[in-house]
Chains A and B, each alone.
Chain A
Amino acid sequence: MEAKKIKARLELEDGSVFQGYSFGAQTSVAGEVVFNTSMVGYPESLTDPSYYGQILVLTYPLIGNYGVPESHIVDGLDDCFESSRVQITGLIVSEYSFDYQHWSAGKSLAQWLIEHKVPGLYGIDTRMLTKRLREEGSMLGRLLFFTEKKNFYDPNKINLVERVSIRQPIDYGTGDKKVILVDCGAKDNIIRCLLQRDVRVRRVPWNYDFTHEEFDGVMISNGPGDPKMCRDTVALVQKVMDREKPIFGICMGNQILALAAGADTFKLKFGHRSQNQPCVEVGTKRCYITSQNHGYAVDGRTLPEGWEPWFVNANDGTNEGIRHTSQPFRSVQFHPEAAPGPVDTAILFDDFKRMML
């Protein structure tokens, strides 16, 4: 039979235990357990800083099929990933494909996880686990090896953005327009999408005061955890609104813009993490299929005057974007930069560029 299988288990805070086998690093960890229903794109998801502190359950049962791509540095970014490291705390799958095959693959998923010291479990009934998370809401969990012990740990109690943001500003590209990207845990593809549209990007830390610098627009990125932890960012956004330059928020950026506008945010029961979320543009019959990864949302009912909902989720009616009725301030809860996921809303980057002209 296969090489000796190493057993490990996932324990949830409600006391349930899921037995599986290890394929990543043999390290016991704790975090918030969330699920994602995407069928492709694990290298992108695993490097998405919004997953920082989370044990990720993939509902698609076959993972690792195409290995992990050999990445190259292009424009100062790893061209195949969303950041330079695996961000998740742990990975839970049904089947791990030990054999992989793809022209772009450089290594197996297992090897990559081991290199990044992230544990992975296979042989879990991920559908059963997902149903539990759906019914009980996202839960804390710990992934344990042998007789090791680990306390439950709630990543949402700390400022995760601080952990994943950069320390010093970085400049990318030479385009004619300049955008300040507020890095709350930005996915690299946001930068790539801007660069492709001939936009210069100055990526700044989450709490960096950029309000006196020269720029044509501000992009507030995605990021992990509770947006209310980012008080500094919210304050900076409030301040920069006075300059009446275009502002665009993505994911946590949507929540930060909403908080800056005076609206409220709340934690969803189990979040939206998938590539098939339908978002309707308010007042139209247009619906976009979007890529999402968030546990918090904007409470659309709390939007103050001058602001309006821009998109809503066709499945559960939650807010998916807001915009100012007169100023060039807008944001979306989904990921127009995709990676992973459908690229249908990439047009929003074009709109943003147009707003800066």
Chain B
Amino acid sequence: MNNLPDKVIILGSSALKIGEAGEFDYSGSQAIKALKEEGVNTILMNPNIATIQTSDHLADQVYFLPVTPYFVEQVIQKEKPDGILLGFGGQTALNCGLELEKSGVLARYGVRVLGTPVDAILNTEDRNLFIAKLNQINVKTARSFAVTGVTEAIQKAGEIGFPVMIRIAFALGGLGSGLCRNEQEVRELAQKALSYTNQILIEEYLLGWKEVEYEIVRDQYDNCLSVCNMENFDPMGIHTGESIVVAPSQTLSNSEYHKLREIAIRTVRHMGIIGECNIQYALDPYSEDYRVIEINARLSRSSALASKATGYPLAHVAAKLALGYSLTEVANSITKVTKASFEPALDYLVVKIPRWDLKKFKQVSKRIGSGMKSVGEIMAIGRKFEEALQKGLRMLEIGASGLVLNKQFGVADIKKELAEPTDQRIFAIPAAIKAGLTVDEIHDLTHIDKWFLFKIKNIVDIEKWLSRVGEQRCPKDLLEDAKQHGFSDEQISRVLETTEAQVRELRQAYGLTPKVKQIDTLAAEYPAQTNYLYLTYNGTEDDLGFLERNSVMVLGGGAYRIGSSVEFDWCCVNSVMALKELNYQTIMVNYNPETVSTDYDECDKLYFDELSYETVLDIYEKEKPIGVIVSMGGQIPNNLALKLDKAGVKLLGTSARSIDNAEDRHKFSKLLDELGIDQPEWKELSSVQDAIQFARDVGYPVLVRPSYVLSGAAMSVASTNAELEKFLTKASDISSDYPVVISKFIENAKEIEIDAVAQEGELLVYAISEHVENAGVHSGDATMVLPPQRTYLETTRRIKKIARQLARALKINGPFNMQFVAKGNAVKVIELNLRASRSFPFVSKIFKVNFIDIATRVIMGHHVPKIDRSVFDLEYVGVKAPQFSFTRLIGADPTLGVEMASTGEVGCLGDDFEEAFLKALLSVGYKLPVKNILLSTGPIESKAEFLHSTRLLEKMGMNFYATGGTAKFMQANDLPVTKLNWPLSNKEPNVNDYLENGKIDLVINIPKNYQEEELTNDYIIRRKAVDFAIPLFTNLQLARRFVEAISHKSIKDLQIKSWKEHV
């Protein structure tokens, strides 16, 4: 290939956030691999330290630095690349690249944009240019006006006629978009939207139209094809990221399918896109009329889904096309016999379902609509829609047994839920059918195509037949029908009033077992060496034999959700790599389309299927592996350990009994008592009375939590009897199988973590990190520092000792993580997880010692060479900071608590704490320099604690604004401050005006107590800060460290050093 670049810089998407999640780890990793195959030197910029793409075996140089124009320019200046890829890091990378182009940086350093040219990207991103461009080729777009002011917005909305949609140009995942029914709603939304951007769109509202997407690839020779089309189950009005999506489309005729395909290809050619592109349509359900909604000239969430749905390696191919190859020259790496220039034919269908975590947020609206709120997604594969849908609902791990026969998801007002959807609308449809609503009535309320509703009715019908079985044995035909329609054994056991084990037994007696089918991109037309598999009951033959006798199964992490995300995918992928190195055949089970672990080239066999007891056992019985690793994928596999063990599955690593002893709060506490290890006082609850008595004995605040949870689901700190009662109810909703535990909450203590690997009970490697925030902030939301900077040596010594004791007592053989609270030198254990934790990639990459590689060798009983202690003696510091997505979560109170709220994280390196800390904060959206600060520093103790910081800020020449109490406190301490009135006071000068009009650069707002869920002035200030994209601190310790850091360092002092240069 001529004209290949020598060195290419790839921009990543930074921390995972709502609208921009793991899909870009997949696409970036594929791009790096594609470039390396061509011998191109690769430079990756991405502070997301938990990703696979930032592993040392991929890019030649990795920079854990903010993906902002300033830092990218610095890296370009240093590395002198001759090419840049903008299409593999989501909207973050694209927007950053466009700014660099606009400011002339790329031209100045001679960096060529590979793939789609910048002017083509601009034509897709700028709404007016976009419409004009499509008009040239007679392609219809929704009636739309780009406006720059609120008055103009109202006027154009009037021209189109209400209702109208407001959308933001240059936005990811429909940020700030929404439906406006009247002038007032236009005014409110337009004002808010115009704070992020200077252009918004007022658009025709296509209520009830079908929403269809195509993924198109094009090379520079004008070859252009459609890799996949997808249809939204939820029609227009609900963002595609919030919709259930099927691929391929199910309700389109040949003429519709190919008409839209042809328009897509015509459009992509006209735009001049090279590489990958996504095009979204609205299609009239009563004619072939259509509108193009938008085009994304980059890899996207949909393209990741399309890639996993079809087996077509979109990101890999897009990278090759960006280098100048033609589609006819790129091999189809799935079949190995055909080329990339073909369109996949599916002989199955996939269903994608979003995963929401709205319960984690205080005050958030549960309504779903044109903005994204979901934090992850699953993809289920089947040969019937019903099969895939029910699998998918279980994969969400929200407690659903399928579409029907659930304990939860009762819908109070069915019609309202159908018409005004929340995250639980899907469950309202079977409820509506049972309540006697017809398919027509449901269609009228939801606009969901009746074909989908008929399918849902089939599921309801089967439930009905099953419920009529009564005392007798379920007949084979009916059981088979149920299995073919995606009913799980457990789900069937509920209606038959028997046990899951009995259903399994009956099913096997009838000879009903799922069949393994391959995804081969060509519907079996050509033989394919594919390892990409799923299970179905709609088949009579396995596609392949199960002859390997040296295989190991690794259970993946499932949907990304708060608390379990790309970190566990990193662990799974690294574990698989280690297994391969040890010459085992690897079998991965996972169903998250955003992951690298579900890539075609990571493992020997990939089962894109459920991580349930039933499915894992089915696969295990077919594959007969050496054993199963449950410690890499986070809490889902961890929770299966005991049950799988009882069913005779060989678990590799720490024993199931030990896992249970750590997870079961009761057993764990008993163990700690026996070993004489201190822990916060606790009690397992039998009644609310007991709980209140306990709280009275130990004193408030107390912590309430169920066993076997991750990321603090339903974990709460109660300060009063009333709060305690409320939280207890919530906790028992989440997990009724496991007991609820209440413990003393220790205030003003430090939180410290250890990530470690033990071999046969002996501690092998460990990393101790401290949190910047005091205990009480969930460890996933905390800012972590490695090595600890402010922890006494004696404390770390004690922690190490406890870790040793527990490793021995539980005969730990693999990865584990423990959390402690420390006050003075007193150390108390909060929890122990006998699995890899969220921080394993962080500590592994900071130390440059791969904990998962070691853990995997340990688990497999291989010798691990002694680690040289000196590698733990660091000359630098790593800081991990959380990324929040509050902007997306309308109404959510952006405060921190014991329940995790962050959606992602970054990890940065520095020669000292402050350097790493500032890089990390700048990576998650904080901005420098700061001039105007709004202070509201909470209770008097924290006001006093922050006084020193305020004085530092004064010396730096900051302007202070403060509300009532804080202003008074500052004046009393001789600090100059402008007093602003509370938002609810309606008095001028009002905090609201200052926040809305860009007069504040930073808000420091320390809440007064742990969990008040009221609409207070403080809440309004925090929310405004989030809505107007103003950096916000709500944690005192974090704010203080920030002030210290900026008093010593400016952005210019942050060194541009690659990972390799640091370690």
Residues of chain A having any CB pair with chain B under 8 Å: 1, 35, 37-41, 43-44, 59-62, 65-66, 69, 94-95, 97, 99-104, 125-128, 130-131, 134, 274-278, 280, 284-287, 289, 314-316, 338-344
Minimum CB–CB distance from A112 to chain B (whole Å) comes to: 14
Partner of A274, one of B249, B327, B525, B527: B525
**CA–CA, A37 and B522, complex, Å:** 8
> Are A59 and B328 in contact, CB atoms less than 8 angstroms apart?
no
**CA–CA, A97 and B348, complex, Å:** 14
State the majority secondary structure of interface residues on B.
loop
Minimum CB–CB distance from A133 to chain B (whole Å) comes to: 9
Given the interface pairs A66-B253, A101-B251, A276-B344, the reply to whether A314 lies near B328 with Cβ below 8 Å is yes
15 further contact pairs, Cβ within 8 A, besides A276-B343, A276-B345 = A39-B248, A40-B258, A65-B251, A66-B253, A97-B454, A101-B450, A102-B251, A126-B347, A127-B517, A131-B524, A274-B523, A276-B342, A287-B326, A339-B254, A342-B343
Interface string of B510-539 (1 = CB under 8 A from A): 000001010000111111000000000011
Task: Answer yes or no: B357 CB below 8 A from chain A CBs.
Answer: no
Given the interface pairs A66-B253, A95-B538, A130-B524, the reply to whether A61 lies near B451 with Cβ below 8 Å is no
Minimum CB–CB distance from B3 to chain A (whole Å) comes to: 15
- Chain B residue at minimal CB-CB distance from A103: B286
> Are B287 and A289 in contact, CB atoms less than 8 angstroms apart?
no
> Are A101 and B258 in contact, CB atoms less than 8 angstroms apart?
no
Task: Answer yes or no: B262 CB below 8 A from chain A CBs.
Answer: yes
Minimum CB–CB distance from B546 to chain A (whole Å) comes to: 17
What A residues does B329 contact at CB under 8 A?
285
What B residues does A40 contact at CB under 8 A?
248-249, 252-254, 257-258
Interface string of B454-466 (1 = CB under 8 A from A): 1101000000010
**CA–CA, A130 and B248, complex, Å:** 20
What A residues does B345 contact at CB under 8 A?
37-39, 59-60, 274-276
Minimum CB–CB distance from A337 to chain B (whole Å) comes to: 12
**CA–CA, A293 and B346, complex, Å:** 18
> Are B343 and A275 in contact, CB atoms less than 8 angstroms apart?
yes
Determine which residue in A37, A287, A314, A343 has the highest number of CB atoms from chain B within 10 A of its CB, and name it.
A287
> Are B524 and A286 in contact, CB atoms less than 8 angstroms apart?
no
Task: Answer yes or no: B1025 CB below 8 A from chain A CBs.
Answer: no
> Are A61 and B384 in contact, CB atoms less than 8 angstroms apart?
yes
> Are A286 and B254 in contact, CB atoms less than 8 angstroms apart?
no
Q: Please report the total number of B residues contacting A with Cβ < 8 Å.
A: 63
Partner of B342, one of A43, A99, A285, A315: A315
What B residues does A344 contact at CB under 8 A?
262, 265
What B residues does A104 contact at CB under 8 A?
253
What A residues does B465 contact at CB under 8 A?
1
**CA–CA, A286 and B220, complex, Å:** 10
> Are B523 and A59 in contact, CB atoms less than 8 angstroms apart?
yes
Minimum CB–CB distance from A353 to chain B (whole Å) comes to: 19
Task: Answer yes or no: B159 CB below 8 A from chain A CBs.
Answer: no
Partner of A103, one of B287, B339, B343: B287
List of 9 A-B pairs having minimum Cβ-Cβ separation, nearest first: A41-B254, A99-B454, A37-B523, A37-B345, A276-B343, A340-B254, A59-B523, A101-B451, A287-B341
> Are A60 and B454 in contact, CB atoms less than 8 angstroms apart?
no
Given the interface pairs A37-B522, A66-B253, A102-B253, the reply to whether A343 lies near B344 with Cβ below 8 Å is no
Determine which residue in A1, A40, A103 has the highest number of CB atoms from chain B within 10 A of its CB, and name it.
A40
> Are B347 and A134 in contact, CB atoms less than 8 angstroms apart?
no
Minimum CB–CB distance from A277 to chain B (whole Å) comes to: 8
Partner of B221, one of A69, A94, A130, A285: A285
- Chain B residue at minimal CB-CB distance from A60: B347
What B residues does A134 contact at CB under 8 A?
524-527
Task: Answer yes or no: B316 CB below 8 A from chain A CBs.
Answer: no
What B residues does A65 contact at CB under 8 A?
250-251, 451
Minimum CB–CB distance from B259 to chain A (whole Å) comes to: 8
**CA–CA, A40 and B455, complex, Å:** 19
Determine which residue in B328, B338, B344, B347 has the highest number of CB atoms from chain A within 10 A of its CB, and name it.
B347
Task: Answer yes or no: B385 CB below 8 A from chain A CBs.
Answer: yes
> Are B540 and A128 in contact, CB atoms less than 8 angstroms apart?
yes
Minimum CB–CB distance from A108 to chain B (whole Å) comes to: 12
> Are A61 and B221 in contact, CB atoms less than 8 angstroms apart?
no
Minimum CB–CB distance from A196 to chain B (whole Å) comes to: 14
- Chain B residue at minimal CB-CB distance from A5: B477
Interface string of B439-456 (1 = CB under 8 A from A): 000000000011100110
Task: Answer yes or no: B337 CB below 8 A from chain A CBs.
Answer: yes
Interface string of B102-115 (1 = CB under 8 A from A): 00000000000000
Task: Answer yes or no: B945 CB below 8 A from chain A CBs.
Answer: no
Residues of chain B having any CB pair with chain A under 8 Å: 219, 221-223, 225-226, 248-254, 257-258, 261-262, 265, 285-287, 326-329, 337-339, 341-349, 383-385, 449-451, 454-455, 457, 465, 477-478, 481, 515, 517, 522-527, 538-541, 543
- Chain A residue at minimal CB-CB distance from B524: A130
What A residues does B221 contact at CB under 8 A?
284-286
Partner of A127, one of B337, B454, B524: B524
**CA–CA, A283 and B455, complex, Å:** 49
State the majority secondary structure of interface residues on A.
loop
What B residues does A35 contact at CB under 8 A?
524-525
**CA–CA, A103 and B337, complex, Å:** 41
**CA–CA, A295 and B780, complex, Å:** 60
> Are A69 and B253 in contact, CB atoms less than 8 angstroms apart?
yes
Minimum CB–CB distance from B238 to chain A (whole Å) comes to: 20
**CA–CA, A329 and B543, complex, Å:** 45
Minimum CB–CB distance from A131 to chain B (whole Å) comes to: 5
What A residues does B478 contact at CB under 8 A?
1
Given the interface pairs A101-B251, A101-B450, the reply to whether A314 lies near B338 with Cβ below 8 Å is yes
- Chain B residue at minimal CB-CB distance from A41: B254
Given the interface pairs A39-B346, A344-B265, the reply to whether A130 lies near B523 with Cβ below 8 Å is yes
> Are A287 and B327 in contact, CB atoms less than 8 angstroms apart?
yes
> Are A314 and B347 in contact, CB atoms less than 8 angstroms apart?
no
> Are B341 and A278 in contact, CB atoms less than 8 angstroms apart?
yes
> Are B257 and A314 in contact, CB atoms less than 8 angstroms apart?
no
**CA–CA, A201 and B525, complex, Å:** 36
What A residues does B253 contact at CB under 8 A?
40-41, 43, 66, 69, 102, 104
**CA–CA, A274 and B226, complex, Å:** 15
- Chain B residue at minimal CB-CB distance from A126: B347
Partner of A286, one of B222, B261, B338: B222
**CA–CA, A316 and B335, complex, Å:** 13
> Are B328 and A61 in contact, CB atoms less than 8 angstroms apart?
no
What A residues does B339 contact at CB under 8 A?
278, 287, 314-315
> Are B541 and A128 in contact, CB atoms less than 8 angstroms apart?
yes
**CA–CA, A97 and B386, complex, Å:** 12
**CA–CA, A104 and B465, complex, Å:** 33
> Are A103 and B540 in contact, CB atoms less than 8 angstroms apart?
no
**CA–CA, A318 and B222, complex, Å:** 23
Partner of B385, one of A62, A66, A100, A316: A62
**CA–CA, A66 and B222, complex, Å:** 33
**CA–CA, A275 and B522, complex, Å:** 11
> Are B328 and A127 in contact, CB atoms less than 8 angstroms apart?
no
Minimum CB–CB distance from A44 to chain B (whole Å) comes to: 6
> Are B342 and A61 in contact, CB atoms less than 8 angstroms apart?
no
**CA–CA, A277 and B344, complex, Å:** 10
- Chain A residue at minimal CB-CB distance from B221: A285
What A residues does B541 contact at CB under 8 A?
125, 128
Partner of B251, one of A44, A59, A66, A276: A66
> Are A94 and B524 in contact, CB atoms less than 8 angstroms apart?
no
Minimum CB–CB distance from B218 to chain A (whole Å) comes to: 11
What B residues does A59 contact at CB under 8 A?
345, 347, 523-525
* A-B contacts, 23 listed (Cβ < 8 Å): A37-B524, A38-B345, A39-B346, A40-B258, A41-B254, A59-B345, A59-B523, A60-B523, A66-B252, A69-B253, A100-B451, A101-B450, A104-B253, A125-B541, A127-B347, A127-B543, A130-B524, A274-B345, A276-B344, A315-B337, A316-B526, A342-B226, A344-B265
